[in-house]
């Protein structure tokens, strides 16, 4: 028997308890160590793997986040990628779907309240506990594959890294007792599967997403961190809403409203200004 909590345990335990999905998680493949689960799923897809194939790694040696950043990926956490082949129209909803699935799964497995920082940083009490990365491969207008990557800090020791210590947290730190990775993974895969079925049936999860976003109503700075976004530099304003395409609607101090498709949001503690529409009563 491997010692409790070792990688052999948690995926096998999850499968033993039963996975109630149609597409996602058939199969689930576990690796003690990978470069990145994103790369492994891409390799499997190129080799003809089935839609719904899931790869889990105990350790990633080259885990990555949005904007090409390094994603610190030691053992004891949840690093997972899922292979999907959705329609072209649905692609833009996958990261929203993944953020909602992560929030639902954490609520079910750990009983914690989770919010999302636009677009999809998974947060507990303002600290990042997980992230979502979606990578697509297209051939013309044909979708070869889409890979959803989800990372959730379960046992991450954030104290070893200055940046992580001030911005990140982990489920075991937020909970009374240790969180079961088997339960977390099962809930996560089942929620992705449900949301994906609905998406394929034409339902977009806009309202649930809007309700989870802790960004709305706050003063924020949105930065183009790669230089490759349509965003030109950075903008400061009040995050007013999201639109039906998932864009952020940002109210500028001069009253103008701009639509942002990407970028990194920093939430400022207290709004420096509140834009009052002409004719709107002051409170
Ligand atoms: C982010 O917030 O920047 C997204 C982080 C995504 C991390 C996950 S962990 C599983 C998958 N494999 C990776 O290399 N990245 C994603």
Rounded CA-CA distance 134/136 in Å is 7
| Backbone dihedral region for residue 111 (phi beyond 0: left; psi -120 to 50: alpha; all else: beta) | left
| Ligand 1 site, residue 52, Cβ cutoff 6 A | no
Q: CA geometry: angle at 250 spanning 210 and 136, to 5°?
A: 60
State the Cα torsion 38-44-47-52 to the nearest 10°: -110
Residue having the nearest C-alpha atom to atom 10 of ligand 1: 79
Q: 219-267 has which CATH code?
A: 2.30.30.100
CA of 55 to the centre of ligand 1 (A): 13
Segments making up each domain of the chain, as ranges: 8-212, 219-267
Same-fold call for 8-212 versus 219-267: no
| Ligand 1 site, residue 54, Cβ cutoff 6 A | no
pLDDT value of residue 224: 72
CA of 77 to the centre of ligand 1 (A): 12
CA of 19 to the centre of ligand 1 (A): 23
pLDDT per residue rounded down to tens, the chain (283 residues):
444 445 558 999 999 989 999 999 999 999 999 999 999 999 999 999 999 999 999 999 999 999 999 999 999 999 999 999 999 999 999 999 999 999 999 999 999 999 999 999 999 999 999 999 999 999 999 999 999 999 999 999 989 888 888 899 999 999 988 999 999 999 999 999 999 999 999 999 999 999 999 999 999 999 976 554 445 679 999 999 999 999 999 999 999 999 999 899 999 965 555 555 566 554 4
pLDDT value of residue 147: 98
| Ligand 1 site, residue 149, Cβ cutoff 6 A | yes
| Ligand 1 site, residue 246, Cβ cutoff 6 A | no
Residue having the nearest C-alpha atom to atom 7 of ligand 1: 151
CA of 131 to the centre of ligand 1 (A): 6
DSSP label at residue 246: S
| Ligand 1 site, residue 151, Cβ cutoff 6 A | yes
Q: Which stretches does DSSP call E strand in the chain?
A: 28-34, 54-60, 78-84, 115-117, 121-124, 127-139, 142-152, 219-223, 234-242, 248-251, 257-260, 264-267
| Ligand 1 site, residue 64, Cβ cutoff 6 A | yes
Residue having the nearest C-alpha atom to atom 14 of ligand 1: 63
CA of 279 to the centre of ligand 1 (A): 45
Residue with tokens 């049936």: 201
Do residues 56 and 79 touch, judged by C-beta distance below 8 A? Answer: yes
CA of 134 to the centre of ligand 1 (A): 9
* CATH class of the region 8-212: alpha beta
pLDDT value of residue 227: 52
pLDDT value of residue 22: 97
pLDDT value of residue 280: 56
Please give the C-alpha separations between residue 214 and each of 52, 90, 124, 167, 168, in angstroms, as whole numbers. Answer: 30, 24, 10, 15, 16
pLDDT value of residue 165: 87
Q: Closest ligand 1 atom to the C-alpha of 66?
A: 3
| Ligand 1 site, residue 99, Cβ cutoff 6 A | no
Q: Closest ligand 1 atom to the C-alpha of 120?
A: 2
Rounded CA-CA distance 40/33 in Å is 11
Q: Closest ligand 1 atom to the C-alpha of 80?
A: 10
Q: Closest ligand 1 atom to the C-alpha of 151?
A: 9
């Amino acid at each position: 028997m491997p010692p409790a909590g070792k990688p052999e345990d948690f995926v096998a335990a999850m499968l033993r308890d039963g996975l109630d999905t149609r597409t996602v998680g058939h199969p689930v493949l576990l690796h003690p160590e990978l470069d990145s689960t994103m790369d492994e799923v891409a390799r499997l897809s190129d080799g003809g793997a089935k839609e719904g194939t899931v790869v889990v790694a105990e350790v990633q040696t080259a885990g990555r986040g949005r904007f090409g950043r390094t994603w610190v990926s030691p053992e004891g956490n949840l690093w997972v990628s899922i292979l999907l082949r959705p329609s072209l129209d649905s692609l833009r909803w996958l990261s929203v779907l993944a953020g909602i699935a992560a929030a639902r799964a954490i609520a079910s497995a750990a009983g914690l309240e989770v919010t999302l920082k636009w677009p999809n940083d998974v947060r507990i009490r303002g600290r990042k506990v997980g992230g979502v990365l979606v990578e697509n491969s297209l051939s013309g207008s044909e979708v070869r594959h889409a890979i959803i990557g989800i990372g959730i800090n379960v046992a991450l020791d954030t104290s070893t890294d200055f940046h992580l210590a001030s911005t990140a947290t982990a489920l075991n730190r937020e909970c009374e007792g240790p969180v079961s990775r088997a339960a977390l993974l099962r809930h996560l895969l089942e929620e992705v599967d449900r949301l994906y079925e609905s998406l394929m049936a034409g339902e977009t999860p806009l309202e649930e997403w809007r309700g989870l976003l802790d960004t709305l109503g706050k003063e924020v700075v949105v930065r183009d961190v790669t230089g490759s976004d349509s965003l030109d530099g950075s903008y400061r304003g009040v995050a007013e809403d999201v639109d039906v395409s998932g864009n952020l609607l940002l109210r500028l101090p001069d009253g103008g409203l701009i639509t942002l498709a990407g970028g990194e949001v920093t939430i400022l503690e207290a709004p420096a200004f509140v834009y009052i529409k002409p004719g709107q009563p002051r409170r």
